[in-house]
Amino acid sequence: MEIAEELAKQQKAISVAEFFEKNRQILGFDSAPRALITCVKEAVDNSLDACEDAGILPDIFVQVKRSGDYYQVVVEDNGPGIVSDEIPRVFAKLLYGSRFHTLRQSRGQQGIGISAAVLYSQLTSGKPTKVISKIGPGRPAHYCELMINTMKNEPEILKAEDVEWERPRGTRVEMEMEGSYVRSRRQSVFGSLKSAAIVNPHARITLVEPEGNVEVFERATEALPKKAYAIQPHPAGIELGELIKLLRYTDKKKLRVFLKETFSSIGTISAQELCNLAGLDPERPPADLKHDEAKRLLAAFKQIRVKSPPVDCLSPIGEDLIKAGLEKEFSLDFIATTVRPVSVYSGNPFLVEVGLGFGGELEKESRVEILRFANRVPLVYQQGACAITHAVEGVSWKNYSLGQPTGSGIPVGPAVLLVHIASTNIPFTSESKDAVADVPEILAEIDLGLKEVARKLRRYLSRQSMLSERREKEEIIRKILPRIAKKLSDILEKDEPDIGPVVAKIMGNLLVFRHVEMQNGLSAVKIEVKNHSDLTRSFKLHEVLRQEAVFVSPSAKVVPMGDGYDYYWKLSLGPGESATLCYSVRSDGSSFGDPVVEGLEAEIVTGARVI
């Protein structure tokens, strides 16, 4: 027998499950702490996707606990559940899913995530994964124990039965595996779920840690994200081989119909123009096109102007919810956000959202924390290999009042940066989905978003610096003027005057001055408000009273409170303008609290508290 024939006998196909069984590091299972994080992340991502697809506000329970030599991971949700026949394939068959062939934003795309976690679990513990799922009230829950036959990439059902479960609907998955539980701000189960809670503010996530500590990430909104709808492929992203495949297997009988119904942004006129440019008969069957004809058609795609893909395939977080998410998980003094317009790379629509939080309880001398997200999923590892990090490093942060000791790289200061990329196809650098590739179009949009929020930060810090100088100036004035006033009053033998109006005039402040007189058993109150600045000031002025007021002029809004009433006026005063507010209350001998100004900085108001 010839050597070639001997070698031929040794050739055999391997399944994708076998391949990943021997190359688990590709999927993010290269260390004990990371393996645990990856398993939790994949299960939570599945739960979030399922809940959102069904229009359900996610309520997700995660528990990690020691179980002998292993860690037990439990993830339970209130989603729509999974029909019993589908459970084995969803959890125990790699590359099985509903989203790979669908062009819309979603967390999962390839059908690897949760089944890879099941594979790692059985590989390290030798134990099956336990799943229980219920699709509605009044329906039995289905319980099964599963393993993956790695030689065939098929599920093996060790046990299956209908059981009672208290939930009206939902899914619970339980896995045991080797791992290591660490508690840190970023690279940990806790850090990953905290990040997920920021960009999924509509979800409530409960984490029970191995030592029994319970962390609840409450939802910040009751509104579900905007639903993303599937679109057809865009001609700008089609390559020759893919076009030939589409032509060969289409069921359309005419080329013009094929072009119109297979691609987004192509209508009747565009289809006719494409056929004319390629020199092809629009009535011809698509499957009859030869290689060189398909090549001409591809060249025609690049010659005509086709509008960008529809944007309803994306579901951005939005500026308000980015701000709410950051406020929920961080104590900050200032937040700036921006959402960039939809752009396209290789025919794939995408958009970039950026949030910047500053001050508060963040460390002043450490590097800025970068929170990276792709389709609402936190990217925990490989920060240095990610386009988001590269874009941050490429900004000259010294121009925006943040430290950058080496002139480039990640800035230093009490700040946190959030960058979210939403796309129908995130260009990850590997199957572990931890870093985004350096696609020029994506880098450019991140750069623009970062600079936009950085400009807002610079304006804020500039204003804070100006207000700080005003505070120092006012403190000096308030130390000197009382001494001068006291000297003059002693010399002139008169009462010491109120220096508030003088301070307001010198500082260019808004002055609020209250005067009270007794009239027929009533306290007649007059509040004079004058704008000494050279800018228009718009604000609310509140008076909190223990009893109802009478003779209120001009009329005020009244909000009843538990122990009194809040009267407030909306005012807008130009430079040098003033207003007088009057009311009376029955005198009961009690003193008045300070007037309250809402909507202005404390540094530019004299004579009132500021909220």
CATH of the domain at 606: 2.60.40.2960
420 in a domain, yes or no? yes
Of the candidate ranges 434-443, 477-486, 499-508, the one whose mean pLDDT is the lowest: 477-486
Query: What Rg value do the Cα atoms of the chain yield, rounded?
Result: 33
Number of domains in the chain: 4
Q: For the segment 120-171, what is each residue's pLDDT rounded down to a tens digit?
A: 888 888 899 999 999 989 899 999 999 988 888 888 899 999 899 989 999 9
Q: Rounded mean pLDDT of 310-317?
A: 84
1 in a domain, yes or no? no
CATH number of 456's domain: 3.30.230.10
Under the banding of pLDDT at 50, 70 and 90, the label for residue 495 is: low
CA distance 168 to 54: 14
The answer to whether the CB of 224 falls within 8 A of the CB of 202 is yes
pLDDT at residue 1, as a whole number: 59
Residue type, 589: G
- What's the token pair of residue 283? 């009535």
The answer to whether the CB of 581 falls within 8 A of the CB of 569 is yes
The answer to whether the CB of 210 falls within 8 A of the CB of 71 is yes
Domain shared by 184 and 278, yes or no: no
Nearest in space to 536 (alpha carbons), one of 589, 577, 476, 584? 577
Percent of the chain with pLDDT over 70: 88
The winner for highest mean pLDDT among 73-82, 423-432, 476-485 is: 73-82
Q: Rounded mean pLDDT of 270-298?
A: 88
CA distance 56 to 53: 8
Nearest in space to 127 (alpha carbons), one of 172, 161, 158? 158
Under the banding of pLDDT at 50, 70 and 90, the label for residue 15 is: low
Of the candidate ranges 140-144, 196-200, 243-247, 492-496, the one whose mean pLDDT is the lowest: 492-496
Q: Rounded mean pLDDT of 174-198?
A: 86
Question: Between 266 and 590, where is the model more confident?
Answer: 266
Q: Rounded mean pLDDT of 408-416?
A: 88
pLDDT surpasses 80 at 470: no
pLDDT at residue 501, as a whole number: 73
474 in a domain, yes or no? no
Domain shared by 45 and 132, yes or no: yes
Pairing of strands 550-553, 510-519: unpaired
Domain shared by 92 and 165, yes or no: yes
CATH number of 295's domain: 1.10.8.50
Domain shared by 404 and 511, yes or no: no
Would you give the DSSP letter of residue 302? Answer: H
CA distance 140 to 340: 46
Beta sheet of 522-531, edge-to-edge order: 550-553, 578-586, 522-531, 510-519, 605-606
- What's the token pair of residue 603? 């540094």
pLDDT at residue 467, as a whole number: 63
pLDDT at residue 185, as a whole number: 66
CA distance 358 to 368: 10
Pairing of strands 214-217, 204-208: antiparallel
Question: Between 352 and 488, where is the model more confident?
Answer: 352
492 in a domain, yes or no? no
Domain shared by 286 and 385, yes or no: no
Domain shared by 325 and 415, yes or no: yes
Domain shared by 252 and 200, yes or no: no
Q: Could you list the residue range(s) of the whole structural domain that residue 240 is in? A: 235-303
pLDDT surpasses 90 at 521: no
Under the banding of pLDDT at 50, 70 and 90, the label for residue 556 is: very high
The winner for highest mean pLDDT among 93-102, 242-251, 535-544 is: 535-544
Q: For the segment 103-128, what is each residue's pLDDT rounded down to a tens digit?
A: 677 776 555 778 888 888 888 888 99
270 in a domain, yes or no? yes
pLDDT surpasses 90 at 462: no
pLDDT surpasses 90 at 25: no
pLDDT at residue 101, as a whole number: 52
Domain end: 183, 217, 251, which one? 217
Residue type, 374: A
CA geometry: angle 583, 588, 594, nearest 5 deg: 55
Of the candidate ranges 80-84, 428-432, 538-542, the one whose mean pLDDT is the lowest: 428-432
CATH number of 191's domain: 3.30.565.10
The answer to whether the CB of 471 falls within 8 A of the CB of 602 is no
CA distance 349 to 228: 12
Domain shared by 47 and 193, yes or no: yes
Q: Rounded mean pLDDT of 33-43?
A: 88
Domain shared by 89 and 196, yes or no: yes
Domain shared by 72 and 122, yes or no: yes
Sequence-distant (6+) residues with CB within 8 A of 513 are 498, 500, 501, 527, 528, 529, 530, 607
Of the candidate ranges 355-359, 405-409, 416-420, 520-524, the one whose mean pLDDT is the lowest: 405-409
pLDDT at residue 59, as a whole number: 94
Under the banding of pLDDT at 50, 70 and 90, the label for residue 533 is: confident
pLDDT at residue 29, as a whole number: 78
Under the banding of pLDDT at 50, 70 and 90, the label for residue 9 is: low
Q: Name the pTM for this structure.
A: 0.72
CA distance 377 to 199: 8
Beta sheet of 596-598, edge-to-edge order: 557-561, 564-573, 537-545, 596-598, 609-610
Q: Kindly provide the b/e burial profile for residues 379-405, where b requires at least 16 CB atoms within 10 angstroms of the residue's own CB.
A: bbbbbeebbbbbbbbebebeebbbebe
pLDDT at residue 529, as a whole number: 93
Domain end: 413, 444, 462, which one? 462
pLDDT surpasses 70 at 8: no
359 in a domain, yes or no? yes
Q: How far is CA 102 from CA 141, 228, 238, 313, 427, in A?
A: 29, 11, 15, 10, 16
489 in a domain, yes or no? no
Domain end: 274, 303, 332, which one? 303
